[in-house]
Amino acid sequence: MPSASISTPAAPGATETPGIGAWRSFLVAHARITRRLDDELQAAHGLSLAEYDALLQIATAPGRRVRMNVLAERVILSRSGITRLVDRLEAQGCVERIACETDARGQEARLTSVGLDRLRMAARTHLDGVRRYFLDRLGEADLAALEVALGRVGEPPSGDARHVHEGCRPAEA
């Protein structure tokens, strides 16, 4: 008896939709590159890509401190996700949570010297990977076009311009 081929039909019209190939290519490229970058950071520094990103976001914030909700938006995590990530970084001595002096409801994550040292050590590994897996594979025109196109895609939809206070205002002396 011949074996029957079982296949899953594509969604009606999905393969004919203009641009769907670009979408799929974007998803595959993103998944492969981030997996490689994460693997390299884990192997060399015991740091996940998300942890590296969080340390970088805090390091580049004024005073090397940032409100937890702002950090969650920047590293694209939920509030509970950023809490767990900051818990891990705090346990490693990389960040400390501090209360917002001018807003009792707010908490900030502040980079420690240990965190800054780990970030600096991991930066070369990360940037070398970005160069190998992304920058070296594209020409200047491709990179410029991607920057413009993905910049438009990454913008919040109109009407979704949420303003989030960067950090707590210092208490009056």
The structural domains of the chain, ordered by start, are: 28-149 (1.10.10.10)
Q: How far is it, in rounded angstroms, from Cα 50 to Cα 38?
A: 8
pLDDT tier for residue 154 given thresholds of 50, 70 and 90? confident
Q: What is the chain's mean pLDDT, rounded?
A: 87
pLDDT(112) > 90 = yes
pLDDT tier for residue 158 given thresholds of 50, 70 and 90? confident
Phi, psi of 136 (to 5 degrees): -70, -15
pLDDT(84) > 60 = yes
- Residue 42 class from Cβ within 10 Å (0-12 exposed, 13-18 middle, 19+ buried)? middle
Q: How far is it, in rounded angstroms, from Cα 46 to Cα 67?
A: 25
What is the predicted pLDDT for the residue at 7? 46
pLDDT tier for residue 172 given thresholds of 50, 70 and 90? very low
The closest of 48, 170, 51 to 108, measured between CA atoms, is: 170
The closest of 150, 164, 130 to 25, measured between CA atoms, is: 150
Q: Return the axis-axis angle of helices 49-59 and 113-133, rounded to nearest 10°.
A: 120
pLDDT(163) > 90 = no
The whole model's pTM is what? 0.81
Contact indicator for 106, 91 with CB cutoff of 8 Å? no
pLDDT(6) > 60 = no
First to last CA, the chain: 87
The closest of 70, 112, 65 to 92, measured between CA atoms, is: 112
What is the predicted pLDDT for the residue at 31? 97
